[in-house]
Each structure stands twice: as C-alpha cells, then as structure tokens.
Amino acid sequence: MRLRLQVWRQESSDAPGALETYDLEGVDPQMSFLEMLDHLNETLAGQGKRTVAFDHDCREGICGQCGVFINGRPHGPGSGVATCQLHMRSFRDGDTIVIEPWRAGPFPVVCDLVTDRSAFDRIIASGGFISVNTGTAPEANATPVGKQAAEDAFDAAACIGCGACVAVCKNASAALFVGAKITHLATLPQGRVERTDRALNMVEAMEAEGFGGCSQTGACEAVCPKEISVRSIARLNFEYLRARLIRALR
C-alpha cells in the first residue's frame, strides 16, 4: 500500500505545531497502525530526519498509551479497538490519513503525538483504590460477590484510561473515566467502605485538573475502545450526590 500521511509535528509543549505531509510506500495491510508508524520512523531515520514521537507500550489494547486522533476520530475508524489494535487493512491504497494528538486542555502536548495524561494518575491517587492491610491473600470465597455485581464491576474495570472520552468530548469531560473507576470499586463489597470519601475526592480532583462537565452527547461511549457504558456516569452522579448528603449529615 501507498499512503499519504499528515502527521502533527510539535517539538515541545512550548513550540508551535503543524501538520506535515509524508508519502509512505510499502505499507503491508496486515500491519497494525503502530507498526505503520514504526515504518514511517524507519524511513525518516534513513533520511536523517527527526522521527515522530508517539506513545505506546503493550500493543495489545490493555495499557491505554497509544491513543491518537485518526482522521478526526479517537483510535480511528474501528469500533471497540485501541489504536494499537487497528490494522492497515482498514484503509485503502492511496488514502490520506490525518494523525493528531488528543486535543484537550488537561492533556497538554509533550511532543508530536505524545500528550501528558498524568492528570488521570492524580485522579486515581485521590481515591481510586481500596485501603487494605497487606499480607496473605484472603480466601476467594470469604467475601461473596453476586453475579450481576461481579459483571458490572468487571465491565467498568475494563477502562484502560486512554483518554479518548476526554479528547472527543466538547467539554473535555473525564466523567466516563472517573465514573468507570468509581463504579468498579463501589459495586464490590471490598470498595464500599470508602465509597463516600472516594466519590468526593475523585470528583474534586477531576474538577481541580480542569476537566469540564459531562456534555451528555454520548460521544465518549461511542469512541471508547473498551465500550464503557455511559451508565457509569449515572453511577458517578449517584455516588457523588449520596456522598454529599452523607457528608452534610455528619
């Protein structure tokens, strides 16, 4: 395959950025999108040019590091797949592909396609965990978990924190991400002990990082590579209101 790539190039967060065009040949349809970027970088390096910086790690759709806009859509034309799981057979010979980083204030561009998503880490650090004493693992059957609760928690826990929900939202809202984390832990009996403080702290951290309110368009669910349901946002609102009432009555 022969492709024309328009790639966002920006040397640093302080430098101006712009799209640069590259004609790339020898693209195998069976390549993943990241393998295609590797091929581009090999070509650029061979020409003595600066290679394109992009985030990646597991290349298995698990780590959430690979997200970019592809032709205006987070993670590209596929449904329920991360950028690293997208294959070049999804495109046609001669196509023009525009590749850009996430566009959101809380995710500043570091270099080219790399954005700083440490805001998510700080939200998790504010309450996205269960405080337990370490030691021998408890017996698996010691704390019964109902089938529906287990399935709901597992579905929410599938969130990989890629940030596609933020990037596609016109308000740069992190409600789907935070909602998934809160739903995951609040659904399980082990997480209910801290559910009040968790909801308050994570929402406060989300607002402090500059994320906007939910736009209620459902765009976040549409582009989520793990297909997290917007029901997680409803659970987020419930947990937050519940926590505010409990805090007011204390």
Q: Which amino acid is at 160?
A: I
Q: How confident is the model at residue 45 (pLDDT cuts 50, 70, 90)?
A: very high
What are the tokens at 236? 């987020």
Q: What pLDDT does 134 receive?
A: 67
The pTM is what? 0.93
Q: What domains can you pick out in the chain, each with its CATH number?
A: 3-111 (3.10.20.30), 118-249 (1.10.1060.10)
Strand partners, 73: 70
Checking if the pLDDT of 133 tops 90, the result is no
Q: What are phi and psi of 91, to 5 degrees?
A: -120, 170
Task: With residue 245 as reference, give the H or E element that holds it.
Answer: helix 231-249
Q: Report residue 8's pLDDT band, with 50, 70 and 90 as the boundaries.
A: very high
- What are the tens digits of pLDDT across the range 184-229? 999 999 899 999 999 999 999 999 999 999 999 999 999 999 999 9
Model pLDDT, residue 141: 77
pLDDT attached to residue 176: 98
User: How far is it, in rounded angstroms, from Cα 115 to Cα 249?
Assistant: 41
Taking each continuous run of H as one helix and of E as one strand, the counts in the chain are: 8, 7
